[in-house]
Amino acid sequence: MQYTDGLGPRCDNCTDNSHATAICEDSFMSSISDTMRDDDETWEQSGEGENKEEPDELEWESSEAQVAERQFIVSESCLDSLLSKCATCNQSVSMHKKVKGCLLVATKTCTHRHETESWRSQSSVGGLAEGHLELSAAIMF
């Protein structure tokens, strides 16, 4: 991988200049894979000589279980079509949306006024949207 004119990383294998600020996908995935292997080796080595207890392993397993839920990127128009009808009577609803970062909270009221429902795009952990935690962790690590 090389850097050219401060425009960002470029793949050594690519001959055209079509993605001067982007990374070739094959090269990027290869570098990520290498980084992950390096980090894993470093992590195992850093544990040598320390007292390894089972609670650490249990904490690791529970962390993996928490991130096992699949995440999706969805366009607003697709969400609108999904949330635009009342689940009880299939009539249209009035909807108020509140967006905070990557969290969407949609409050919908049936036009027949028999149902008000709030829908959240993601769960919360300690009062923070999971997506905010996962996104910041992805940037950090």
SS (H, E, C) the chain: CEECCCCCEECCCCCCCCCCCCCCHHHHHHHHHHHHHHHHHHHHHHCCCCCCCHHHHHHHHHHHHHCCCCCCCCCHHHHHHHHCECCCCCCEEEEEEEEECCEEEEEEEECCCCCEEEEECCCEECCEEHHHHHHHHHHHC
Kindly state the tokens that stand for 35: 């980084």
Q: Is residue 34 part of a domain?
A: yes
Q: What's the confidence (pLDDT) of residue 50? A: 45
Q: Is residue 103 part of a domain?
A: yes
Q: Is residue 54 part of a domain?
A: no
- Is the pLDDT at 99 greater than 90, yes or no? yes
Tens of pLDDT, residues 75-91: 999 999 999 998 888 88
Tens of pLDDT, residues 44-78: 333 344 444 444 454 444 455 555 688 888 999 99
Q: Is residue 59 part of a domain?
A: no
- Is the pLDDT at 109 greater than 90, yes or no? yes
Q: What's the confidence (pLDDT) of residue 19? A: 46
Q: Count up the domains in the chain and report the number.
A: 2
Q: What's the confidence (pLDDT) of residue 111? A: 87
Question: Residues 82, 120: one domain?
Answer: yes
Question: Residues 81, 35: one domain?
Answer: no
- % of the chain residues with pLDDT over 90: 25
Decide which of 126 and 12 is more confident.
126
Q: Is residue 84 part of a domain?
A: yes
Question: Residues 40, 95: one domain?
Answer: no
Q: Is residue 120 part of a domain?
A: yes
Distance CA 99, CA 85 (A): 20
Q: Is residue 70 part of a domain?
A: no
Question: Residues 37, 80: one domain?
Answer: no
Q: By the 8 A CB rule, do 94 and 65 touch?
A: no
SS3 117: strand
Question: Residues 30, 84: one domain?
Answer: no
Supply the range of the domain harboring residue 112.
76-140
Please give the sequence-ordered ranges of beta strands (E in DSSP) within 14-133, or none if there are none: 93-100, 103-110, 116-120, 124-125, 128-129
Q: What's the confidence (pLDDT) of residue 84? A: 92
- Is the pLDDT at 14 greater than 60, yes or no? no
Q: Is residue 63 part of a domain?
A: no
Contacts of residue 113, defined as CB under 8 A and 6 or more positions apart, other chains included, come to none
- % of the chain residues with pLDDT over 70: 52
